[in-house]
């Protein structure tokens, strides 16, 4: 029994190794790019220091042989006392670079080729996906320079104005001191400014709604089944709070203007009115009751979805990246064992669990449209949070505490691209809980496929242990 | 009453210890301690604000370099580029400083200390010695926090909420080394300070009120400070416990907050069996009442300032007390709304959501009462009054977005986005800062015996309210687009590129806000020495502090402590000669201060109060 267990473990490990090594072999920039995005972006960028140093012109700084050795096992080099290795280690806060022993020399060379190509690319076109995009990006950045200059010019003018106004007022107040009566009547001036502020402010808010609403997630509607309910709830709250906001702010600033002291009038002595107070306690209470009841309905609908037995996918988070693990044909996710987390078994999949053999691990999250999914979340190191804005989905990812979220995507990536008019649009899952220096770039691409596309994509993925039935039989013996 | 005896003792006391150290450094006089809290708070606030400007520059110009940064922050700004790790350190320390050191100690510490004895009619705090310790614990705590900026690995960087495991494991992030240890030490010292102060405030309000100062005659400031102190006393010890457990996890290898962490990542010992969420429960059990520990004193100050400067009684005095109490009690059962998406039982989420949205009712009552107080008033738009009006405006704007975030369903999407940043910076940040500013402008004559420059005050107000709205209002839209907070840059996401201009605008507005605070700082520090001498009662206010002499006196009143015959809000009472009747003026025929006040004062109270002073 023990031997069989060991055997199955070895098969598993070899299979995982195989799936990594077989997938790519030829040296090319394109493949380097794929590998780079899958393995390196968590800690490295070409031009910026992230966790590790910026990689621009790394081939010029170091020998290729040194780089190969370093990428495969940097810790060994540091320990052996290689002077450059020790220096790099110290320069980067003594952080240990993950070992990539599973990468072949050819693969690493292709990554280096990609880095070289990117280093030599003109700086104005960062991560150029499509040439058209790059062109717009360039003009946009030129535009940005101009706008930036105008903004700062405005700032300088405002600062100057402030200075001049301060000086004028200080002179006026000195004149007032000499004359024995103030020149500027701040009571009058403030009351007028309150109204100006109210009018300009409300105008700015209206402008802002017209200018920026289109950037919000509500503009193209939700991409999930529960999203419609969510958006309704949001809009109801927006209308109710909006009405209260406008009325109370207008009253506040209007009273400030209307009831300013004129030196003649006396204030009204009016300490109490129980009827009015009762009214403005009960009315907000009723409105809030409505909001609470509706909110509870939406919350419960989202937390306890009617569709049971969705497709099971585990979302695994680590500093700084995501993996998705599909449950495979049996729709049963293999158990996990955090003690098995290592260089090869990065997700800590329990190698004793037969259910794990047909699991599929990917760097992108593909979902089938209108097919309910049960996402289970697991973290390796610190708390992360998986936010998928377009689906109105978010759940914290906590080490040692399994969390879950079930939903049904309803709009494919292609449909959303047409809807938004952006051919490069992609759904995204991003980290929304502070987790370290590369928190701001810890993301996973999410693709919603049609049924056929999903099938096609899934069949192109390799399962953890290819010869599933055989192994299952072996393990069960 | 033994007022006379106490007073004599004080006189003797003063002869003994009137030297520089005992007067200005280890002072036990509540008025001096208030000044110490205020000035330390202002210094910390300036540091916190400068930090925000540095990270705002990064957010507006993620692709640019600022060579001067290297001069300010050394290797963290190598080649003029802010290090991502130090960005996280900046937001962490900015949050910590603003929440605890400025808006808790700087606001409540200053005004509770200054106003509680003066407004209830006491010679000093119940325990002046504990009061002194409270300040010096706070000072030590501030010093430790500032020192932590310079240690290896940088200061704490796990966000001001310091969630483990990020904060528990030195390997998780550079800032979780020595910097995090010092953060926790600073927090423990801070809590000691808050508790020493809080016990004192409660004891003084409950036991040391002057003759006739019934609870129902207390100014609303005192009610707010009292409830604030009770909240602090009940919630800070929980954070102390939480912090100690975190110290154990960090230094002694325990696993209170750690689960399924491999040995390699956790300092050589495998950690399992704890729960990271436990820390969040302990943290937010303080953290949510903390929001009201910050806000209630600001609201109390506003009540006082609005009533005085509207020349009107505060509308619905009893309803105001009721809402302060309701907010105080409810604040203890809503902490879970910070944790809706931690995977906690959805039923628990429902309960927390219910409690959270109920808080909106007393908050609404307060807002409407402020509006009713302004209505048909005779408004003196002093800088203090303008800041109070500004507070009400922010309280509305920021409070309403709380209705979105308190709704568990809506929070799923909005949690930890810029919508949250906008919400709490308006309702807790800007509102409380405006309350603090209002208090400073209003009680500056009491604090320093001089007046601040009014013109500079008005300019300060207008620039600050404009910049605060320009900074925080647009952030709602970023939040609704799903932009997460605590991002070093938004460059990794195509869909966030649309906010490049907005980010730049916000940064420029923030710098404008910073410039405006220079006007305040200048006004504040110059007026201490050069301001006009303050008159006895510059705002014609009813409360007792204005019957005490302008020059500070250990023991507050030279003669007997005045007795109180009425509530604090007899402004513009029909039939009275002037538009205010101070609390120490009896009614016609009233001899016993405890009798309910019914009518008008005996004679012209202006002469009476002048007598009291002479």
Q: Does B371 touch chain A (CB under 8 A)?
A: yes
For residue A469, the model assigns a pLDDT of: 43
Contact (CB, 8 A) for B561 and B210: yes
Segment A256-303, tens digit of pLDDT? 999 999 888 899 999 999 999 999 999 999 999 999 999 999 999 999
Do A297 and A316 sit in the same domain of this protein? no
Query: What is the Cα–Cα distance from A471 to A464, expressed in whole angstroms?
Result: 11
- Whether A291 is covered by a domain: the verdict is yes
- Whether A382 is covered by a domain: the verdict is yes
Q: Does B84 touch chain A (CB under 8 A)?
A: yes
For chain B, what is the mean pLDDT? 91
For residue B68, the model assigns a pLDDT of: 87
Minimal Cα–Cα distance from A30 to chain B, Å? Answer: 20
| Residue of A284, A299, A315, A386 to mutate, testing the B interface (most B Cβ within 10 Å of its Cβ) | A299
Whether the predicted pLDDT of B470 surpasses 80: yes
Cβ count within 10 A of residue A370: 14
CB pairs under 8 A between A and B: 366
Segment B578-587, tens digit of pLDDT? 889 999 999 8
Domain limits at A282? 190-215+227-304
Do A323 and A472 sit in the same domain of this protein? yes
For residue A139, the model assigns a pLDDT of: 46
For residue A142, the model assigns a pLDDT of: 53
Segment A343-365, tens digit of pLDDT? 778 888 888 888 888 899 999 99
> Which residues of A are less than 8 Å from B354 in CB distance?
292, 296
Per-residue HEC secondary structure of B191-247 comes to HHHHHHHHHHHHHHHHHCCCCCCCHHHCCHHHHHHHHHHHHHHHHHHHHHHHHHHHH
Do A326 and A472 sit in the same domain of this protein? yes
> Which residues of B are less than 8 Å from A402 in CB distance?
343
Whether the predicted pLDDT of A133 surpasses 60: no
Chain B nearest-CA residue for A231: B410
Do A240 and A204 sit in the same domain of this protein? yes
Whether the predicted pLDDT of A202 surpasses 60: yes
Long-range contact list for A445-448, CB < 8 A, 24+ apart? A445/A364, A445/A365, A446/A364, A446/A365, A446/A366, A446/A367, A446/A388, A447/A364, A447/A365, A447/A366, A447/A367, A447/A413, A448/A223, A448/A366, A448/A367, A448/A368, A448/A369, A448/A409, A448/A411, A448/A412, A448/A413, A448/A416
pLDDT confidence tier of residue B603, bands split at 50, 70 and 90: low
Q: Does B227 touch chain A (CB under 8 A)?
A: no
Residue B400 CB contacts under 8 Å (≥ 6 apart), including other chains: A241, A244, A245
| Among A58-67, A248-257, B571-580, the least confident range | A58-67
For residue A53, the model assigns a pLDDT of: 81
Q: Which of residues 185-224 of B touch A (CB under 8 A)?
A: none
Q: Does B64 touch chain A (CB under 8 A)?
A: no
- Residue A454 token pair: 């999903």
Residue B187 CB contacts under 8 Å (≥ 6 apart), including other chains: B100, B141, B239, B243
ipTM of the complex, rounded to two decimals:
0.92
Minimal Cα–Cα distance from A126 to chain B, Å? Answer: 10
Query: What is the Cα–Cα distance from B88 to A435, expressed in whole angstroms?
Result: 10
Q: Does B531 touch chain A (CB under 8 A)?
A: no
Whether the predicted pLDDT of B498 surpasses 50: yes
Residue B221 CB contacts under 8 Å (≥ 6 apart), including other chains: B111, B115, B119, B297, B300, B301, B303, B304
Helices (H), A304-410: none
Query: What is the Cα–Cα distance from A109 to A29, expressed in whole angstroms?
Result: 9
Kindly determine whether residue A400 and residue B349, on different chains, have CB atoms separated by under 8 Å. no
Q: Does B348 touch chain A (CB under 8 A)?
A: no
Do A425 and A334 sit in the same domain of this protein? yes
Query: What is the Cα–Cα distance from A58 to A61, expressed in whole angstroms?
Result: 5
Where does residue A371 rank: exposed (0-12), middle (13-18), buried (19+ CB within 10 A)? middle
Q: Which CATH architecture has domain B29-530?
A: Up-down Bundle (1.20)
Nearest to residue B365, comparing CAs of B337, B405, B395? B395
Do A374 and A293 sit in the same domain of this protein? no
Do A377 and A434 sit in the same domain of this protein? yes
Segment B368-416, tens digit of pLDDT? 999 999 999 999 999 999 999 999 999 999 999 999 999 999 999 999 9
Looking up tokens 């958006």, which residue turns up?
A231
Query: What is the Cα–Cα distance from B76 to B403, expressed in whole angstroms?
Result: 39
For residue B49, the model assigns a pLDDT of: 96
Which of A266, A300, A439 comes nearest B487 by C-beta?
A439
For chain A, what is the mean pLDDT? 83
- Residue A84 token pair: 């450059």
Whether the predicted pLDDT of A127 surpasses 80: no
Do A237 and A319 sit in the same domain of this protein? no
Whether the predicted pLDDT of B560 surpasses 50: yes
What does the angle CA B219 – CA B225 – CA B229 come to, to the nearest 5 degrees? 150
For residue A256, the model assigns a pLDDT of: 96
> Which residues of B are less than 8 Å from A386 in CB distance?
none
- Choosing from A64, A96, A120, the residue where a domain stops is A120
pLDDT confidence tier of residue B267, bands split at 50, 70 and 90: confident
Q: How many residues does chain A have?
A: 477
- Whether A179 is covered by a domain: the verdict is no
Whether the predicted pLDDT of B297 surpasses 60: yes
- Whether A7 is covered by a domain: the verdict is yes
More confident residue, B597 or A396: A396
DSSP characters for B325-357?
Answer: HHHHHHGGG-GGGG-TTTT--HHHHHHHHHHHH
> Which residues of B are less than 8 Å from A233 in CB distance?
407, 409-410
Looking up tokens 């001069």, which residue turns up?
B71
For residue B225, the model assigns a pLDDT of: 97
> Which residues of B are less than 8 Å from A158 in CB distance?
512
Helices (H), B425-499: 431-448, 454-472, 475-480
> What is the three-class DSSP state of A366?
strand
> Which residues of A are less than 8 Å from B314 in CB distance?
271
For residue B21, the model assigns a pLDDT of: 80
Do A286 and A318 sit in the same domain of this protein? no
Chain A nearest-CA residue for B485: A432
Kindly determine whether residue B262 and residue A339, on different chains, have CB atoms separated by under 8 Å. yes
For residue B127, the model assigns a pLDDT of: 95
Calculate mean pLDDT across residues A54-69: 82
Whether the predicted pLDDT of B87 surpasses 80: yes
Kindly determine whether residue A234 and residue B410, on different chains, have CB atoms separated by under 8 Å. yes
Residue ranges per structural domain of chain B: 29-530
Chain A nearest-CA residue for B490: A440
Q: B583: cis peptide before it, omega within 30°? A: no
- CATH no. for residue A335? 2.60.40.420
More confident residue, A11 or B184: B184
The tally of domains found in chain A comes to 3
For residue A309, the model assigns a pLDDT of: 80
> Which residues of A are less than 8 Å from B369 in CB distance?
277
> What is the three-class DSSP state of B190?
helix
Segment A399-430, tens digit of pLDDT? 999 999 999 999 999 999 999 999 999 999 99
- Residue B61 token pair: 């110009």
Contact (CB, 8 A) for B294 and B428: yes
pLDDT confidence tier of residue A95, bands split at 50, 70 and 90: low
Cβ count within 10 A of residue A469: 9
- Choosing from A120, A141, A161, the residue where a domain stops is A120
- Whether A271 is covered by a domain: the verdict is yes
- Whether A151 is covered by a domain: the verdict is no
Q: Does A139 touch chain B (CB under 8 A)?
A: no
Query: What is the Cα–Cα distance from A182 to A176, expressed in whole angstroms?
Result: 4
Minimal Cα–Cα distance from A371 to chain B, Å? Answer: 21
Kindly determine whether residue B375 and residue A201, on different chains, have CB atoms separated by under 8 Å. no
Do A448 and A325 sit in the same domain of this protein? yes
Segment B179-218, tens digit of pLDDT? 999 999 999 999 999 999 999 999 999 999 999 999 999 9
For residue A110, the model assigns a pLDDT of: 82
Contact (CB, 8 A) for B154 and B179: yes
Do A42 and A112 sit in the same domain of this protein? yes
- CATH no. for residue A111? 1.10.760.10
Whether the predicted pLDDT of B14 surpasses 60: no
Do A364 and A277 sit in the same domain of this protein? no
> Which residues of A are less than 8 Å from B348 in CB distance?
none
Which of A162, A191, A434 comes nearest B463 by C-beta?
A162
Kindly determine whether residue A400 and residue B275, on different chains, have CB atoms separated by under 8 Å. yes
- Whether A133 is covered by a domain: the verdict is no
Segment B535-558, tens digit of pLDDT? 999 999 999 999 999 999 889 999
Calculate mean pLDDT across residues B218-233: 97
- Choosing from A273, A304, A335, the residue where a domain stops is A304
> Which residues of A are less than 8 Å from B454 in CB distance?
173, 186
Residue B529 CB contacts under 8 Å (≥ 6 apart), including other chains: none
For residue B536, the model assigns a pLDDT of: 94
């Amino acid at each position: 029994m023990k031997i069989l267990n060991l055997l199955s473990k070895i098969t598993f490990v070899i299979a995982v190794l195989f799936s990594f090594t077989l997938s790519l072999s030829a040296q090319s920039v394109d493949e380097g790019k794929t590998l780079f995005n899958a393995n390196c972006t968590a800690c490295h960028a070409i031009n910026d220091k992230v966790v590790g140093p910026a990689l621009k012109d790394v081939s010029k700084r170091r020998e290729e042989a040194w780089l190969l050795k370093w990428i495969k096992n940097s810790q060994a080099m540091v320990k052996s006392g290689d002077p450059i290795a020790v220096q790099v280690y110290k320069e980067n806060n003594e952080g240990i670079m993950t070992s990539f022993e599973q990468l072949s020399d050819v693969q690493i060379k292709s990554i280096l080729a990609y880095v070289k190509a990117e280093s030599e690319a003109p700086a104005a076109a960062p991560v150029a996906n499509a040439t058209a995009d790059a062109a717009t990006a360039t003009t946009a950045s030129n535009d940005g320079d101009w706008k930036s200059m105008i903004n700062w010019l405005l700032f300088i003018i405002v600062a100057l104005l402030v200075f001049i106004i301060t000086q004028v007022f200080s002179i006026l107040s000195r004149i007032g001191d000499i004359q024995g009566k103030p020149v500027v009547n701040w009571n009058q001036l403030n009351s007028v400014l309150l109204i100006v502020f109210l009018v300009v402010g409300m105008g700015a808010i209206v402008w802002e709604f017209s200018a920026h609403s289109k950037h919000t997630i509500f503009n193209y509607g939700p991409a999930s089944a529960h999203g419609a309910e969510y958006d309704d709830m949001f809009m109801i709250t927006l209308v109710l709070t909006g009405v209260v906001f406008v009325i109370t702010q207008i009253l506040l600033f209007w009273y400030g203007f209307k009831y300013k002291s004129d030196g003649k009038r006396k204030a009204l002595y009016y300490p109490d009115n129980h009827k009015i107070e009762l009214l403005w306690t009960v009315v907000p209470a009723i409105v809030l009751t409505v909001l609470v009841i509706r909110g509870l309905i939406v919350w419960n609908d989202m937390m306890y979805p009617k569709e049971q037995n969705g497709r099971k996918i585990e979302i695994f988070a680590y500093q700084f990246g995501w993996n998705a693990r599909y449950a495979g044909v049996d729709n049963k996710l293999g158990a996990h064992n955090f003690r098995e987390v290592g260089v090869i078994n990065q997700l800590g999949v329990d190698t004793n669990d037969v259910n794990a053999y047909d699991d599929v691990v990917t760097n992108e999250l593909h979902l089938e449209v209108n097919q309910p999914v049960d996402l289970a979340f697991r973290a390796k190191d610190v708390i992360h949070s998986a936010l998928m804005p377009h689906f109105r989905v978010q759940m914290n990812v906590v080490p040692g505490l399994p969390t879950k979220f079930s939903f049904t995507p309803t709009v494919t990536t292609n449909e959303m691209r047409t809807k938004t008019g952006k051919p490069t649009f992609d759904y995204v899952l991003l980290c929304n809980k502070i987790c370290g220096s590369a928190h701001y770039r810890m993301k996973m691409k999410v693709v919603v496929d049609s049924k056929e596309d999903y099938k096609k994509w899934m069949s192109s993925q390799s399962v953890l242990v290819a010869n599933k039935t055989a192994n299952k039989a072996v393990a069960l013996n | 009453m033994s007022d006379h005896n106490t007073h004599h003792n004080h006189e003797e006391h003063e002869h003994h210890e009137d030297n520089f150290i005992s007067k200005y450094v280890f002072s036990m006089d509540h008025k001096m301690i208030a000044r110490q809290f205020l000035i330390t708070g202002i210094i910390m606030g300036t540091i916190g604000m400068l930090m925000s400007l540095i990270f705002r520059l990064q957010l507006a110009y993620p692709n640019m370099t600022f060579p001067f940064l290297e001069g300010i922050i050394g290797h963290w700004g190598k080649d003029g580029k802010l290090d991502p790790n130090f960005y996280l350190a900046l937001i962490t320390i900015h949050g910590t400083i603003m929440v605890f050191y400025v808006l808790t100690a700087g606001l409540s510490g200053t005004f509770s200390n200054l106003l509680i004895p003066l407004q209830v009619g006491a010679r000093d705090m119940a325990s002046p010695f504990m009061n002194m310790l409270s300040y010096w614990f706070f000072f030590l705590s501030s010093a430790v926090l500032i020192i932590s900026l310079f240690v290896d690995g940088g200061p704490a960087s796990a966000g001001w909420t310091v969630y483990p495991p990020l904060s528990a494991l030195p390997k998780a992030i550079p800032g979780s080394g020595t910097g995090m240890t010092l953060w926790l030490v600073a927090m423990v010292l801070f809590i000691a300070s808050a508790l020493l102060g809080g016990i004192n405030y409660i004891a003084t309000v409950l036991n040391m009120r002057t003759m006739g100062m019934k609870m129902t005659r207390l100014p609303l400031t005192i009610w707010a400070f009292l409830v604030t102190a009770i909240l602090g006393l009940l919630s800070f010890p929980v954070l102390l416990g939480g912090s100690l457990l975190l110290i154990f996890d960090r230094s002694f290898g325990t696993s209170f907050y750690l689960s399924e962490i491999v040995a390699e990542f956790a300092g050589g010992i495998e950690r399992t069996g704890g729960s990271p969420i436990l820390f969040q429960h302990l943290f937010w059990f303080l953290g949510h009442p903390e929001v009201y520990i910050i806000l209630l004193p600001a609201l109390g100050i506003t009540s006082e300032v609005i009533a005085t400067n509207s020349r009107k009684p505060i509308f619905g005095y009893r309803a105001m007390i009721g809402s302060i109490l309701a907010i105080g009690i409810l604040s203890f059962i809503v902490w879970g709304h910070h944790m809706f998406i931690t995977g906690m039982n959805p039923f628990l989420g429902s309960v927390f959501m219910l409690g959270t949205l109920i808080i909106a009712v007393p908050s609404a009552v307060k807002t409407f009462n402020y509006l009713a107080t302004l209505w048909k008033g005779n408004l003196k738009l002093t800088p203090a009054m303008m800041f109070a009006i500004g507070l009400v405006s922010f309280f509305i704007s920021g409070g309403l977005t709380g209705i979105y975030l308190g709704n568990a369903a809506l929070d799923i999407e909005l949690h930890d986005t810029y919508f949250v940043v906008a919400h709490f910076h308006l309702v807790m940040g800007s509102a409380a800062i405006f309350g603090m500013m209002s208090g400073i402008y209003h009680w500056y004559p009491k604090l320093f015996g001089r007046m601040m420059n009014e013109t500079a005050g008005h300019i300060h107000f207008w620039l600050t309210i404009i910049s605060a709205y320009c900074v925080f209002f647009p952030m709602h839209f970023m939040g609704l687009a799903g932009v997460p907070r605590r991002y070093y840059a938004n460059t990794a996401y195509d869909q966030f590129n649309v906010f490049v201009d907005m980010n730049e605008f916000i940064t420029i507005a923030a710098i404008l806000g910073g410039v405006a605070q220079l006007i305040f700082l200048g006004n504040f520090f110059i007026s201490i020495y050069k301001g006009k001498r303050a008159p006895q009662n510059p705002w014609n206010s009813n409360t007792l502090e204005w019957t005490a002499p302008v020059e500070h006196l250990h023991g507050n009143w030279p003669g007997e402590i005045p007795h109180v015959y009425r509530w604090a809000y007899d402004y513009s009472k029909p039939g009275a000669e002037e538009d205010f009747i101070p609390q120490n003026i009896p009614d016609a025929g009233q001899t016993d201060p405890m009798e309910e006040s019914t009518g008008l004062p005996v004679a012209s109270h202006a002469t009476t109060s002048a007598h009291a002073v002479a």
